[in-house]
Amino acid sequence: MGQPAARPSSLVERKLHHLGLLDPSDFVVHLPIRYEDETHVIPILSVFSGAPAQVEGVVIHSEVQYRPRRQLQAVIDDGTGTLLLRWLNFYPSQQKQVAVGKRIRVRGEVRSGFSGFEMVHPKVTVAGTALPTALTPVYPTTDGLSQVSLRKAIDQALGVADLGDTLPREVCDEYDLIPFADAIRVLHHPPANISYVDLIERGHPAWTRIKFDELLAQQLSLAAARAARRAQQAYPLSGGRGTLVQALLSSLPFALTAAQERVIGEISHDLSRSFPMHRLLQGDVGSGKTIVAAFAAAQAISSSSQVAIMAPTEILAEQHFLKLVSWLEPLGVSVAWLTGSLSAKARKAATEAIESGRAQLVIGTQALIQDKVNFANLGLAILDEQHRFGVGQRLQLSRKGEASHGGTLKIPHQLSMSATPIPRTLAMTFFADLDVSVIDELPPGRSPIITKLIADTRRDEVLSHVIAEVLQGRQAYWVCPLVEESEALQLQTAVDTHLQLVQALPDIRVGLIHGRLPSAAKQEVMNDFRAGLIDLLVATTVIEVGVDVPNASLMIIEHAERFGLAQLHQLRGRVGRGSQQSICVLMFQPPLSAVARHRLRAMYETADGFEIARRDLEQRGPGEFLGVRQSGQELLRFASIETDALLVERAQDAARELRDRYPEHARAHLQRWMRGKQDFLRS
C-alpha cells in the first residue's frame, strides 16, 4: 500500500489536490479542454460574430456605466475599425488597463451588440509583445487556480514523470498508435504547424492514442472485475428443474415466447454454477421480464434458497407481487411483501417470516435493505430497473445473502432487469463485465401502438377521442407534464388537470394518482383502475413503469416536449398490453425547440426500444442509462461512446491480447489510468 499523500502546503497545492492532481502521473493526463490561437493579430475589420479573435488597438473611450447595470466599457480603434469591450464584473486594475490612450491587445469571442461588434470579458495584454509560436492550451481548472499556475505545475510534472509506454511496440503497431510520450507532448505543447481543427475536434493521432488508452484501461478494469467475480463462490442453485420450475411451466395460461425460453435457459445455467451470477436481463416494455424472473425464483426456491425482488417504486413492486403471487402461491410458495408503508404490525410479521425462512420469495422496495431485515438464506437477489438504485443499495441487498461456509464466503446470485434497452456501444463500454440476456420479441397478440403528435391547440379533439374510447368500454391515461422546477408544481398541475377533466367530461369517471398520495390511497386508485371503476386516470410519471392494465388503450402525454425519450417510451408502453388497437397521443405546445422536435419525431418514427435508446444516447449521453453510476464523476474524460465506437471495439480486442500475452503491460496500463478509480468502475 502506498504512502499517504502529503498535506498540501500552499493554496495552489490545495487547489491542485482539489482537481485530483497529486503526483506527476496525474498531471500528465490532465489534458487541455481546448486551445486558444494567440499566434497572430488580425485587423478589427476582419472579425466576425461567433468566432474568437485577437486584435490590437488604441483605447479611444473608457467609462463605467450604470444603466442598465454597473459595467466597464471601452472602445479600441486599430485604424480599420472599432470594437466595443465590456466587463460586467471588474476591478480597479482593469480600469487602469483600458485607460484612454493606451494601446492594448485583446482576445475573446466576438459577438454582435447594439452598437456593432463587441467582446465581453476579453483577455487584455500589452500590445506589441512577442506572440506565441504555437497554440495555447486551456486546462480544466477550479476557482482560484489560474491557467498560468496550472501550466507551470504541468510543465514541472512533465519534467519528472515517467512517460514510458505501457503498451508493447507490437500492440502500438497493430493498432496504428503513436508512442504515449509523443502524444502527451503534442497535446500539452502543440507544435507550430499542427492543425487547430484536428486538436479541437480530437481527430489528431495524439488524441486517438489517449482515447484508445482510456478505453483500453476501462476494458482491462472490467475484465479484471469479471475475473474477480468468477473467483468468488456461490451456492449452486440447480433446483431440480423437474420440480417447481416444471410445475410453473405447466400451470401458465399462456405459452412462453422463444426469446423468453432462451433467456430462462441462460439464467438457469448461470444459477447452477458455483460462482455468483451477475446477469442483466434486458427487455423492451411489455416483453415479459417478470415471468422470466418467476422462473429464476422457482429454480432458486427449489434449491431451498430464498429470493428477494427489489423494485424502485411501490407501484412497480406491487405489480410484481400480484403477478408472482398468482403464479407461485398456488404451487405452494410462500410470498412476503415488504415496503415502507406497511403498518408496524405487518412489517414485524414480514420480517419475522423472512428471518425464519418461512418466506421463500420476498418482494418489496428499498425496505428490503433496512438493517432490521435479515434473511435466513438469500440465494438470489433480483433488482428491477436496476439503474434507479444507488451503488450502495445494490450492494446492501447482495450482502443480505452473504454467508460464511467452511471458512469460504458465499455470495448470492444476482439478476438485474431493465426495460431501458442499452445501445450496443454503451453495453460494450460500461457493461462488458456483465452477462447480458435480451428478450427481443413481444408476446403474441399485442397490437402495435399508433403514435400521434398533436398540438395542444387541438385539445377538444383529444377529449372527443377519450369519450369515444370509454364508450367502447376501454380506459385511458392522461399523464401530466413534467415540471422540472418543482415536484410540488407537478403535483399541482396534476390536481388542476384532474379538476379540468372532471368538469369537461362529466359522464366519465376520472381518477387521480401522484407520488404524494399515501401508499394505501395509491393502491386503492390503481385497484379501481384495474377493476374498470375508473375510465380515465390522470397521473404524474409515477405510472412510468410497472403498471399493467390490458384494457387501457389510450395514452395521452401532455406537454410531451418536456419529457426525455426513454421516459416517453416507457409511458407509451403502459398501453398496447391487450389485443385491441392502442394509441399514444403526444400533445405538445408549439413552437418546439430543435431538441424537442428531434425527440418527438423519434417517438413517431419508431417503437423499437433499442432504436429509441440509441437516439436517446445521442441526445443525452450515457448518464441516463447508467443511472447513479456517474456518481458525480466523469464517465469518460477523453473518448466519446457516441463518436468513438470503432475505438471501443479495438480497445476490447487489445484488452484480450494484453491479458493473454502481456500481463505486465496490462498491470502498468491500469496503474497509469485507473489509479483510485477501479472502485468507481465497479459500481
Last residue of a domain, one of 105, 126, 147: 126
Residue 387 has what DSSP assignment?
A: G
Residue carrying C-alpha cell 388537470 = 497
Q: Residues 250, 377: one domain?
A: yes
Structural contact between residues 570 and 316, judged by C-beta atoms closer than 8 angstroms: no
Structural contact between residues 448 and 438, judged by C-beta atoms closer than 8 angstroms: no
Q: Residues 462, 426: one domain?
A: no
**Would you say residue 406 lies in a domain?**
yes
**Would you say residue 101 lies in a domain?**
yes
CA distances from 105 to 80, 95, 109, 118, 672 (A): 15, 15, 14, 14, 41
What is the CATH classification number for the domain harbouring 367? 3.40.50.300
The pLDDT value given to residue 621: 60
Question: Which of 351, 342, 389 has the alpha carbon at shortest distance from 372?
Answer: 351
**Would you say residue 535 lies in a domain?**
yes
The pLDDT value given to residue 483: 52
- Looking at residues 385-410, what average pLDDT do you find? 77
Edge-to-edge order in the sheet of strand 335-338: 335-338, 361-364, 306-310, 378-384, 413-418, 278-283, 435-439
**Would you say residue 198 lies in a domain?**
no
Confidence of residue 5 (pLDDT cuts 50, 70, 90): very low
Q: Specify the amino acid at residue 141.
A: T
Instruction: Concatenate the DSSP letters of all residues of 221-249 into one string.
Output: HHHHHHHHHHHSB-------TTTHHHHHH
Confidence of residue 681 (pLDDT cuts 50, 70, 90): very low
Confidence of residue 678 (pLDDT cuts 50, 70, 90): very low
CA distance 656 to 43: 55
**Would you say residue 664 lies in a domain?**
no
Is the previous residue joined to 68 through a cis bond, with omega within 30 degrees of 0?
A: yes
- Looking at residues 608-627, what average pLDDT do you find? 68
**Would you say residue 55 lies in a domain?**
yes
Q: Residues 485, 516: one domain?
A: yes
SS3 per residue for 542-553: HHCCCCCCCCEE
Q: Specify the amino acid at residue 379.
A: G
Residue carrying C-alpha cell 429509441 = 612
Q: Cite the DSSP H helix spans in 63-204.
A: 92-97, 147-160, 169-174, 180-188, 196-200
Q: Which of 131-145, 170-184, 258-272, 534-548 has the lowest mean pLDDT?
A: 534-548
CA distance 364 to 317: 6
**Would you say residue 423 lies in a domain?**
yes
Q: Residues 307, 427: one domain?
A: yes
Q: Residues 387, 456: one domain?
A: no
Q: Residues 435, 471: one domain?
A: no
With b for 16 or more beta-carbon neighbours within 10 A and e for fewer, the 239-262 pattern comes to beeeebbebbeeeeeeebbebbeb
Q: Residues 309, 391: one domain?
A: yes
- Looking at residues 598-623, what average pLDDT do you find? 80
- Looking at residues 107-117, what average pLDDT do you find? 91
The 10s digit of each residue's pLDDT in 478-517 is 998 755 445 555 556 888 899 999 999 999 999 999 878 8
- Looking at residues 24-52, what average pLDDT do you find? 93
Q: Which of 340-349, 366-375, 619-628 has the lowest mean pLDDT?
A: 619-628
Specify the DSSP element, H or E, that contains 484: none
Q: Residues 307, 361: one domain?
A: yes
Q: With 50 as the cut, is the pLDDT of residue 658 above it?
A: yes
Structural contact between residues 12 and 149, judged by C-beta atoms closer than 8 angstroms: yes
- Of the chain, the end-to-end C-alpha distance in Å amounts to 22
Average pLDDT, the chain: 87
* CB contact set of 362 (below 8 Å; sequence gap of 6+): 306, 307, 308, 309, 335, 336, 337, 338, 350, 354, 368, 375
The pLDDT value given to residue 390: 61
The 10s digit of each residue's pLDDT in 282-315 is 888 778 899 999 999 999 999 999 999 999 888 8
**Would you say residue 187 lies in a domain?**
no
What is the CATH classification number for the domain harbouring 63? 2.40.50.140
Residue 80 has what DSSP assignment?
A: S
Comparing 427 with 42, which gets the higher pLDDT? 42
For a pLDDT cut of 70, what percent of the chain falls above it?
Answer: 91
The pLDDT value given to residue 580: 86
Comparing 6 with 15, which gets the higher pLDDT? 15
SS3 per residue for 265-320: HHHHHHHCCCCCCEEEEEECCCCCHHHHHHHHHHHHHHCCCEEEEECCCHHHHHHH
Q: Is 194 exposed, middle or buried (0-12, 13-18, 19+ CB in 10 A)?
A: middle
Confidence of residue 100 (pLDDT cuts 50, 70, 90): very high
The pLDDT value given to residue 633: 41
The tally of domains found in the chain comes to 3
Q: With 80 as the cut, is the pLDDT of residue 565 above it?
A: yes
The 10s digit of each residue's pLDDT in 225-281 is 888 888 999 999 986 555 899 999 999 988 999 999 999 999 999 999 999 999 999
Q: Residues 270, 419: one domain?
A: yes
pTM: 0.73
Q: Specify the amino acid at residue 81.
A: G
Q: Residues 544, 615: one domain?
A: yes
Domain of 354, in residue numbers:
244-439
Q: With 60 as the cut, is the pLDDT of residue 631 above it?
A: no
Question: Which of 191, 75, 56 has the alpha carbon at shortest distance from 129?
Answer: 56
Q: Residues 433, 483: one domain?
A: no
Is the previous residue joined to 168 through a cis bond, with omega within 30 degrees of 0?
A: no
Confidence of residue 665 (pLDDT cuts 50, 70, 90): very high
Last residue of a domain, one of 72, 97, 126: 126
CB half-sphere exposure, 418, CA atoms < 13 A: 25
Q: With 50 as the cut, is the pLDDT of residue 85 above it?
A: yes
Last residue of a domain, one of 410, 439, 468: 439
Q: Residues 466, 611: one domain?
A: yes
